[in-house]
Chain A
Amino acid sequence: MRPLRLVWIYPDLLSTYGDRGNVLVLERRARLRGIPVEVVEVNSDQRVPRDGDVYLMGGGEDLPQTLATRRLLADGGLHEAAERGAVVFAVCAGYQMMGVEFGGADDTPVQGLGLLDIRSGRGEQRAVGEIVADVDPGLNVGRLTGFENHQGVTRLGPGVRPLARTTIGTGNGDGTEGSYAGRVLGTYLHGPALVRNPNLADLLLFWAVGPLPPFPAPAEELANRLRAERLAAVQ
């Protein structure tokens, strides 16, 4: 069986906020479930592999976000993979890039990747702090905890569903946080997101491989304690 291939996109431009942790824990959760898994890192001057199973993109600064988008549009690999049904998970700047357009360095609209029906622009205030949001019940993920750090706000179009409803913090800016369509999912959560929310990591794995072999409970005891502490800290 070919290993599950996780593709970490352009960390040379989009890895400024610790989102590498998402790749690390996704790999760990797959591996500890007995799923053979490998990680491929693709820099911005390399071709995006078309045959990945889960593509991850992190947060970054304004100019790198624009540069990364241009290169991905020119490359076409991420679009091909998404069309094939690969899972795409994008955080913060990465999330905004998935949309139809987003605000560039001076907030002029920049063409996005068009993989999510969302539009982002500069909000009035910076949203910084712990965020808590309840995920769409249909996804069976439960409550999200994380840290947000962005000035952008995001409007959801009819082609996506909100990922979650915020109870603490800003998220998209309209009471919702993140969005998804098919197997493409984006969120503003750092923490990193998949470290703080093992259920979200498992959702991505489920989308990639179907029903999952069990995860050894002792191996997520600390992560569960962290979750509980973080949620208690903001209630």
Chain B
Amino acid sequence: MDANTHHRTRLPIRAKLATTVGDAAASVSRLAGKGDGSVIGGRIGLRLEPDLLSLLAAGRRVVLVTGTNGKTTTTRLITAALAPLGGQIASNIYGANMDAGAVSALSRTPDARIAVLETDEKYIPSMVKATKPRVVTLLNLSRDQMDRAAEIWLLARRWREALTAAPDCRVVANADDPLVAWSAGGSRQVTWVAAGQAWREDSWCCPNCGAHLDRDGDDWSCHECGLRRPPVSWMLYEDQVIDPSGRSTPLDLALPGRANRANAVVALAVAEAFGVRLEPALAEVRRVTSVAGRYTSVSRRGVDIRLLLAKNPAGWLEALDVLAPPPAPVLLAVNAQGPDGRDTSWLWDVDFRRLRGRTVLVGGERKLDLAVRLEADEVQFRLVNDIDEAVDAVKSGSAGLEVLANYTAFQQYRTALGRVQ
């Protein structure tokens, strides 16, 4: 009996069959070149045995990671931070973050005693119930794909209900985000992290009573109902992490940008909950250089191209901050297929004025929407039809090309550049 079958023999027959059929389907899917197979395999498994997720999660320590932005990266960082514990860690690293993806991740690594699962915001209640997690990580909550997303305040309410009903679960939550703080407010065990909040447009008003919040820097409070920012034990301070002992350590990450520093601090707080000390956890976190193709650099006909992914106003706000400074040219690309959100109105919630005076190229299926948006912010730009046209446009310069794209546009460029790892 090999290592892979050991755990599976403890599952009931139907579940075993579901896992095997699911895994076979996943392998076929991968070989046929259709993504990494995680969702298809899991879906088949769940159809055969609906409680499969609970069964697969039983006996493992599960971490769920959710939020509007940063789920995939933070899942990766937590997995790294827990590496010092030794042993395999199950994870849905390719971002298949609904129940089928979780099933695939768990059945792929049956011997992993720890699982770190990226979880779509809408699936938190069902995943908490099914996997009985040890830790749930709440990163942030803001508008995203409003044509298919549940309302933000409603999501917060569902999170709060699910977490309050899970007393054995520790919540690691961003205290600087009022919606997140309120969602975690009913939980018995909370680790509060000051991870910062750059995008505030969805949290001007109190999630508890609706009054306009008083905000002063990172501090926030409601003068009507008294809801306020809780005291924190972990903090991101510029490029340092401050841990519960009050000690400050430079993060020195390979990943760029403020948002990733915040994600790293959250990962370190989760590691502490598992008994991993800061130094070994941080050493592993520093080694993460790219996540699912993001932040990677590819060379195309002599031009160094760096790929950044952002999907909603909060994400674009952070990404615009990460861009290399001028004279590096920038290619912005936006699609509006189903997974992107079919309504491009959200572009008008992004402030593009800081791109004035730079070389900006505009691509993607919805380039005209983006063009009209940039024109309104008095940013000059050139339309391009594909990545090669963009490369042609900047070839003669010496700086690399920064590419910022939303979901399917990003995937299209990755494919065109040869599936970047």
- Chain A contact residues, CB within 8 Å of chain B: 11-13, 15-21, 24-25, 28, 43-45, 61-64, 67, 128-129, 147, 149, 190-192, 195, 219, 222-223, 225-226, 229
Q: Which residue of B lies closest to A20 (CB)?
A: B348
In-complex Cβ contact of A63 among B210, B212, B347, B372 (8 A): B210
Closest 8 CB pairs of A and B: A18-B345, A21-B348, A12-B204, A45-B212, A61-B151, A18-B348, A226-B368, A67-B210
The answer to whether A222 touches B368 (Cβ under 8 A) is yes
- Please report which residues of chain B, range 131-162, place their CB below 8 angstroms from some CB of chain A when the two chains form the complex: 143, 146-148, 151-154
CB distance from A222 to the nearest CB of B (A): 5
The answer to whether B211 touches A45 (Cβ under 8 A) is yes
The answer to whether A195 touches B372 (Cβ under 8 A) is yes
- Complex Cα–Cα for A21 and B343 (A): 13
The answer to whether A13 touches B345 (Cβ under 8 A) is no
Q: Tell me how many residue pairs across A and B have CB atoms closer than 8 Å.
A: 93
A149-B343 contact, Cβ under 8 Å, with A17-B146, A229-B368: yes
Q: Which residue of B lies closest to A25 (CB)?
A: B376
- Chain B contact residues, CB within 8 Å of chain A: 143, 146-148, 151-154, 201-202, 204-205, 210-212, 342-349, 368-369, 371-373, 375-376
The answer to whether A63 touches B348 (Cβ under 8 A) is no
In-complex Cβ contact of A18 among B148, B152, B212, B346 (8 A): B346
22 interchain pairs (CB within 8 A)? A13-B204, A13-B205, A17-B343, A18-B343, A19-B348, A20-B348, A20-B349, A25-B376, A43-B212, A44-B204, A62-B151, A63-B153, A63-B210, A67-B205, A129-B342, A147-B343, A190-B343, A219-B375, A222-B371, A223-B372, A226-B368, A226-B369
The answer to whether B345 touches A192 (Cβ under 8 A) is yes
Which A residues touch B202, using CB under 8 A? 16
Q: Which residue of B lies closest to A18 (CB)?
A: B345
The answer to whether A24 touches B205 (Cβ under 8 A) is no
Which A residues touch B345, using CB under 8 A? 17-19, 21, 147, 190-192
Which A residues touch B152, using CB under 8 A? 16, 61
- Complex Cα–Cα for A128 and B373 (A): 22
